Amino acid sequence: MTTEEKKRKKGLNSTGSISEIDLQESPSQNKQQEQTPKPQKSRKAKMSKVGETNWKSEYNVSSEINDMKSQLKDINHKLANVASTVDRSIEELNSKIKQLIEKDDARIKNTMRELLSGMKYDIVISLSKQIEVLESRLFEREVEHDKLKQEVKDLNKKLADQEEVNSKLANSIAKNESERRNIENEANQYSRNNNVIISGISHIEEIVEGRKQFKRFETAEETTKYMVETLNTKLGCRIDTSDIDIAHRLKKGQDGKKDIIVRFQSRLLRNSVLKQGRVLRKSGIFVREDLTPLNLEVFMSVKRKMSDEVSSVWTRHGVIFFKNAQEQVIRVVYEDYQTWLDLPWPKRTTK
């Protein structure tokens, strides 16, 4: 109900009420008018109008309140009817839905099956496509893997072949290097075949401040002359300084008796002096061949490293020989050099 309708209804109610009151009170007013004199008639009329106005306003307020209460009751009644109707409708709807579900359970199940079947079909189709893509990629990877595997196999074969070639080359290089060292060692030894090393010949004496002492520094001429005189004296032979190419002292040896290396002009004379080594040994003079550093190291290894199985060691033209415990003479070849060099040196015994 709008505000204008409420005002219109209030006006009608108030108008109706006033007309009824006027009708009820009109007989008494007529009597009073007849009984009262005319001068007082205007005053009473004014008073009647004021009271009537006050009464009308109070009546209008109470009428509006009653009307509002009546309207509220109607509204509450209508709301209660609506709520009851809604509840009944919901219950009926639930009942109908339940009946529908119970009646159409099979149909719903079939519908659900169809929906699920459709979903499954779509999922299967999607998965099938994905699987096909994955299988295609997997096949490509397998083909690529097989290709790479074959390439690796070929590379491994090439690597094995190359390693074999490298091994052969390494062996060949090692063999060539060994042969080169052997040839170099033989050439070096051959260049020393006119040489001998003499130990045990004392230095030249000189007088310093009235005392005899060994000369600390000898010239090659002095050493050659002194060595020739000593050999002629000890061996009883005739050797001339012209038979000597060069002779000088070495750094090795004890003080006052440093070793002398001698190079003869003739290899025959050099061999003759070597043969007289036993004679010179009696006088404390030792003569040996001039060996290369490698031959000398092998010679000392054979002499000292297996002294329990080697009775004697000697050289002839740079070749090393030894006699074992069974009195067998064995030549040390170049291929056995490394074996002798790898043997440990015996420990020194402390006195």
pLDDT at 129 over 60: yes
The pLDDT of 206-210, averaged and rounded, is 77
CA nearest to 317, candidates 279, 294, 288: 288
- pLDDT for 269-294, tens place per residue? 999 999 998 899 998 999 999 999 99
Percent of the chain with pLDDT over 90: 46
Please report, for the chain, the start and end positions of each structural domain, with discontinuous segments joined by +: 197-289, 291-351
pLDDT at 124: 80
Of residues 133 and 4, which shows the higher confidence score? 133
Count of C-beta atoms within a 10 Å radius of residue 270 = 21
pLDDT at 22 over 60: no
CB 248 within 8 A of CB 265: no
CB 239 within 8 A of CB 276: no
Of residues 197 and 43, which shows the higher confidence score? 197
Of residues 130 and 101, which shows the higher confidence score? 130
Q: What mean pLDDT, rounded, does the chain reach?
A: 81
Task: Tell me the C-alpha distance between 227 and 107, whole Å.
Answer: 136
What is the secondary structure of 60-118 as a DSSP string? HHHHHHHHHHHHHHHHHHHHHHHHHHHHHHHHHHHHHHHHHHHHTHHHHHHHHHHHHHH
pLDDT at 202 over 70: yes
In terms of phi and psi (left: phi > 0; alpha: psi -120 to 50; beta: otherwise), the region of 346 is beta
Structure tokens, 74? 């109607």
Nearest-5° Cα angle at 260, 256 to 264: 155
pTM of the model: 0.55
- pLDDT for 42-79, tens place per residue? 555 555 555 565 556 666 777 778 778 888 887 878 77
